[in-house]
Amino acid sequence: MAVDARRGGGDVGGFWAEIFALPTVVYTTLLVIASLYWLSVVIGGLEIDVLDVDADVDVDVDVGDTADGEGAGGFLGLLSALGLRGVPLTFSLSVLVLWSWALCFLGMHHLAPLAAGVLPAWLAALGVALGSFVVAIFGTNLSIRPFQRVFKTHHAPSKLAFIGRPCTITTATVDARFGQALCEDGGAGLVIAVRYEGPATLVKGQKAVLADYDPKRDVFIVEPLDLPDDGEQDRDAEPERRDRGPREPAS
């Protein structure tokens, strides 16, 4: 008894013929490359962000920048405009290829025969290929949105971002050679190395502000918010005077 080739998956040969026919073969090739890439990621040969461009490149490139900077900025701007940022570039491109391949296959299978009597075959194929890519952009945009939180990158704050924040001296004294302070960072606090280049010394518990950062010494320069009174300075300096012993009278 004859079996309908369109039922039960009997038209396997027709499926392979369609995915390797123009224009679907273009997306089929890209899909094979993407599949091999993800297979290598699973095995461990490549990283998921192997094709990612630097996310720190400014999209608004200045006129005096190099051609490479302009190209990277323009590419990132295009991805942002299409809503394809927020995930690794390889991930968004793979989803885009998958959408394009599926839409192109369905378009050539169902839509191209309908247009055969109206348009030339090459024009219908070109329209399906381009239309599939355009629609695939919107499909990719919707598909990657749930993954943007998964791939969200949290950058540690720069040390320069702490400049201007108040801090509390935690060591007995702070001078131009030694000192530490506790800076409030919204959590348990951050103990940092500080230096004070003023004529006096800062004492434990005193409030100060981070005025500058010295990258060579990896320390913050602080300025006092409140200077201790003379009595407190004398009490803090008393142990040091006792250690030094009595002064000799001037001749």
Domain ranges for the chain: 12-147, 159-244
Report pLDDT for 188: 75
What pLDDT sits at residue 86? 78
Give the percent of the chain with pLDDT over 90.
33
pLDDT of 31 > 70? The answer is yes
Residue 155 confidence (pLDDT): 67
Q: What's residue 100's pLDDT?
A: 93
Q: Is the pLDDT of residue 225 over 50?
A: yes
Which residues face 214 on adjacent strands?
219
Percent of the chain with pLDDT over 70: 70
Tell me if residue 185 falls in helix, strand or coil: coil
Per DSSP, the three-state class of 107 is: helix
pLDDT tens per residue across span 151-204: 776 666 678 888 889 999 999 999 999 999 999 877 778 899 999 998 888 999
Query: Distance of CA 160 to CAs 197, 206, 209, Å?
Result: 19, 22, 13
Greater pLDDT, 217 or 116 = 217
Q: CA 184: distance to chain centroid?
A: 25
| Cβ atoms within 10 Å, residue 105 | 19
Position with higher pLDDT, 232 vs 62: 232
Whether residue 52 has pLDDT greater than 60: no
Q: How many angstroms separate the CA atoms of 41 and 94, rounded?
A: 13
Q: For residues 210 and 165, give the distance between their C-alpha atoms in angstroms, rounded to a whole number.
A: 6
pLDDT at 78: 72
Residue with more model confidence, 150 or 58: 150
What pLDDT is stored for residue 184 in this prediction?
81
Q: Please report the pLDDT score of residue 73 as a whole number.
A: 55
Would you state the structure tokens that stand for residue 66, as one six-digit string?
């190099």
Has residue 234 got a pLDDT over 80?
Answer: no
pLDDT value of position 135: 93
Phi and psi at residue 186, to the nearest 5°: 90, -5
CB-facing half-sphere around the CA of 64: CA atoms within 13 A: 0
pLDDT at 221 over 60: yes
Q: Specify burial of residue 43 (Cβ count, 10 A radius: 0-12, 13-18, 19+).
A: exposed
The per-residue pLDDT of the chain, averaged, comes to 76
The model's confidence at residue 212, banded by pLDDT at 50, 70 and 90, is very high
E strands, 89-243, where? 166-169, 173-174, 180-183, 190-195, 202-203, 207-214, 219-224
Convert the pLDDT of each residue in 66-125 to its tens digit: 334 455 556 567 777 777 777 888 888 899 999 999 999 999 988 888 877 788 888 989
Q: What is the pLDDT of residue 8?
A: 44
What CATH number is given for 159-244 in this structure?
2.40.50.140
